Structure 1
Amino acid sequence: MAGRVRILPARGQLLISTDLHGNHEDFRRLRAVFDRLCEAAEHPDLVHWASLGDLVHGPSPVARQRDALRFGYPDESAALVEAMIELRARFPANFHLLLGNHDHGHIGGPHTSKFYRDEVEMLERRMSADAIARMHALFRGALLAVAAPCGLLLCHGSPDEQIPSLDQLGALEPSGEAELAQRSMLRTLLTSYGQAGETTNKLLRQLSQPGLDLRVVVHGHDVDLDGWYTEHGNQACPVLFGAPPSKRRYLVVDLGARYERAEDLREGFEARHLYPELV
């Protein structure tokens, strides 16, 4: 599918990671996981990585002092942008970057204010004009969703049922002026933390297609101290940003399997610790 949705094959492995918010050490560890999966695979083209948005906007000095366990890392957003540009250039068919609401602010979306009054302005003030242009191009080319025949729909947030089809989701344009209905769909894709079970079931039915029976939304955007949770049997969130290092999780899923419920993503199998030495 063209546009803002990527449909993955029914074979191989998929690494799923969520919000990084400028944390280069988390990224370094994820990159090492991806490299190990590629080395162990029958062929490296069978390994995919989906990063579910919010690449930029790390903690302020005040936040690092107030909660050093969760936020005690330097904001290396600009360096992460360059690393993602390199990764996408090297693996154009296998690395899939999704847009988060913090990223969206740099290409026309609402400016966020988690750690600073205007995080978009604060980051771009520290970057050169050429670096800003590269970042804008990266985010303008980002996806809004990834879908897989194994049953998973990957988004930044956990959207509601107002998105009528996968084709219409793929046609959304996050940069520039959009119609009211499109802005509403973008908002639920990028800023929703979770939905009632039936709401998500309805969304998944609407977005399913022949050969693509979607059952579970995997999303980021949320913060959880335990680093991993499922809701209503159809939503799952592996958490990096906002969880203590010992709790941070990512997923590795089998694209040839079937995940009928969120609970099929098992702790210690699909759901893995980013810092296992701290567990």
Structure 2
Amino acid sequence: MTPRLLRLPASGRLLVATDIQGNLRDFLRMLELFEASPERSVLVFTGDLVHGPDEHTEQDWPDFLGTPYRDESPEVVRAFLEAEARYPGRVYCLMGNHEHAHVGGPRTAKFHDDEAQVLEERMGPGPTGAMRTLFARMPLVAVAPNGVVLLHAAPAAHLERIEDLENVQLDGYTQSGIDDFFHASVLGPILWSRMARPEQARAFLSVFGGRIAIYGHDVVREGYERVGAEQLCVSTSFALFDQDKTYVELDLARVYPDVQSLREGVELKKLYT
């Protein structure tokens, strides 16, 4: 069984990026920042590496999609696999709802009726197989000993114990509507929830001994949003202008008691300066 919980080290630096969605330039910038950081750094993307705007969007780019870019999802997948191989045990990606669409989840339809089908046709059989293998082994949650918990979407899922996460089944939801999927499984909220009530977040975090949850999925135009004491929603790439794109850099040996302790320019950093 593929482990769905990624356990991060107790020391070094942790770089966290969210929602690349086919933006190769932003992916490579994040990799550049990781490579310039100390040797014991770990880089975690919180899902949605793939599925960017189609070619028609480029011709009439709307402001709500931020800085224009061309969808290079195949190149992002290849670049991630290369980085993962080059830095074993230091570069990870959690599963997002867009990855899940390729390995048993509801089909996403942001820019195409079936984004998974469009990307797989674009990539061809061999690369598609490698991509599906990658997505199927992605963890769902990452936890560090200092109490930082990473996931794709807001921490609203109801878990009684870690085994509830490890026992998650990925397939069987291709024909499901998103609403049905969201309410029918533990997996739905982990990949799709845009908000969590404080009590939901605390209950989720308690399963992992966590203090704060960092996630993406939703778009925060300013780059990040603190939600209560326990939640930080971050936007690193998709639908933001370059000057607002934000990533997180943490000291894994330091305990952060709440999200208010994360400071602009120290833990909350701009992708481009």
TM-score w.r.t. the length of structure 1 is 0.89
Distance 1:175 1:63 in 2: 31
1:247 maps to 244
1:220 maps to 216
Is the contact made by 2:14 and 2:249 (CA closer than 8 Å) also made in structure 1?
Answer: yes
Aligned-residue CA RMSD (Å): 2.0
1:34 maps to 34
CA deviations over 1:134-175 (Å, ceiling 9, x no partner): 110110111101001121110001132411222321332324
Alignment of structure 1 residues 9-24 onto 2, 5 Å: 9-24=9-24
2:91 maps to 95
Is the contact made by 2:183 and 2:189 (CA closer than 8 Å) also made in structure 1?
Answer: no
Alignment of structure 1 residues 52-63 onto 2, 5 Å: 52-63=46-57
Alignment of structure 1 residues 66-81 onto 2, 5 Å: 66-67=61-62, 70=66, 72-81=68-77
Specify which of 102, 105, 115 is matched with residue 106 of structure 1.
Answer: 102
- Identity over aligned residues, as a percent? 34
2:4 maps to 4
1:211 maps to none
Distance 1:231 1:181 in 2: 21
Is the contact made by 1:161 and 1:203 (CA closer than 8 Å) also made in structure 2?
Answer: yes
Distance 1:63 1:268 in 2: 33
2:145 maps to 149
Distance 2:56 2:219 in 1: 19
Q: How far is the alpha carbon of 1:194 from its aligned partner? A: 1.6
Q: Give the gaps of 5 or more residues in structure 2.
A: 175-180
CA deviations over 1:206-251 (Å, ceiling 9, x no partner): 332xxxxx11110010111111111011110220211111100001
3-state SS of 1:126 partner: helix
**Letter aligned with residue 9 of structure 1:** P
Q: Give the gaps of 5 or more residues in structure 1.
A: 209-213
Structure 1 residues 132 and 182: CA distance shift in structure 2, 3 A: farther
Distance 2:88 2:169 in 1: 21
1:237 maps to 233
Is the contact made by 2:213 and 2:231 (CA closer than 8 Å) also made in structure 1?
Answer: yes
Distance 2:159 2:140 in 1: 12
Q: How far is the alpha carbon of 1:184 from its aligned partner? A: 1.2
**Letter aligned with residue 198 of structure 2:** G
Distance 1:181 1:31 in 2: 32
Structure 1 residues 167 and 15: CA distance shift in structure 2, 3 A: same
Q: How far is the alpha carbon of 1:182 from its aligned partner? A: 10
2:178 maps to none
3-state SS of 2:226 partner: strand
Is the contact made by 2:247 and 2:270 (CA closer than 8 Å) also made in structure 1?
Answer: yes
1:262 maps to 259
Structure 1 residues 21 and 131: CA distance shift in structure 2, 3 A: same
Is the contact made by 1:144 and 1:189 (CA closer than 8 Å) also made in structure 2?
Answer: yes
1:125 maps to 121
**Letter aligned with residue 53 of structure 1:** G
Higher helix share: 1
Distance 1:83 1:183 in 2: 34
**Letter aligned with residue 57 of structure 1:** H
Distance 2:67 2:212 in 1: 30
Is the contact made by 2:95 and 2:140 (CA closer than 8 Å) also made in structure 1?
Answer: yes
**Letter aligned with residue 232 of structure 1:** G
TM-score w.r.t. the length of structure 2 is 0.91
